[in-house]
Amino acid sequence: MVFAHGFGCDQNMWRFITPAFEDDYRITLFDYVGSGGSDLRAYDPDRYSSLEGYAEDVLDVCEELDLKNVVFVGHSVSSVVGMLAAIKQPERFSRLILVGPSPCYINEPPHYVGGFNRADIEELLGMMDKNYIGWANFLAPAVMANPGRPELAGELRESFCSTDPVIARRFAEATFLSDYRSIVEKVPVPSLIMQCSEDIIAPLEVGDYLKLHLPQSTLAVMKATGHCPHMSHPEETIQIIRNYLAESRA
């Protein structure tokens, strides 16, 4: 199993999930270049101007470790990264587990609900430029959406703030202004869509869109709220993944 973190995060965010699968799977964790403990000297603005560059990171990890029959678990933007990687090298992947996926965050009425108007995204990007700390303080609790556990929002905020602001800004643009709806029907690998019941980043309509257009997909709507169920609701997250993988083997 390869676990890929979302925007502004790092591999440590999976710590509540991975122990549940260590007995049955070889676990691989990594940080994208520019995130977490990665070597910032390896960062290439051109490569990471689009999500294809991050998909190359995933494939590089798989090649270096000679990984095959991979169950890829991607959070948020990494869901699309996983789709891109699977399209390019389908022979490496057996399943995609997509946690809070969205192929496009911008509304295109009346046909598509992504959750944001383009002006909303541009305002957030502008806030990153003007007041990065303020942006992190505003976004983290909204993304986590579990006010009863403020320590989770605090951890996400610290993760945002530990990322180089210039790199974070570029990653945000590559994430939130992208539209990868055109690739969804090309994904050749069976997938699980894990959709939180209340999520401002990936609303329920996005899960419905993916279930309709993503071949060989299964949609699981979670009781969990927020955009990071692997942190806020790890037990439910683990159980849904376990059930899906068990059914896949049956």
The residues that are catalytic are 76, 199, 227
Closest among 96, 115, 95 to 105, alpha carbons compared? 115
Strands of the sheet with 93-99, listed across from one edge: 28-29, 2-4, 70-75, 93-99, 191-198, 217-225
At 207, list the tokens: 């899960």
Structure tokens belonging to residue 114: 């992504």
The four Cα atoms 4, 226, 173, 92 give a dihedral, to 10 degrees, of 20
d(CA 108, CA 208): 15
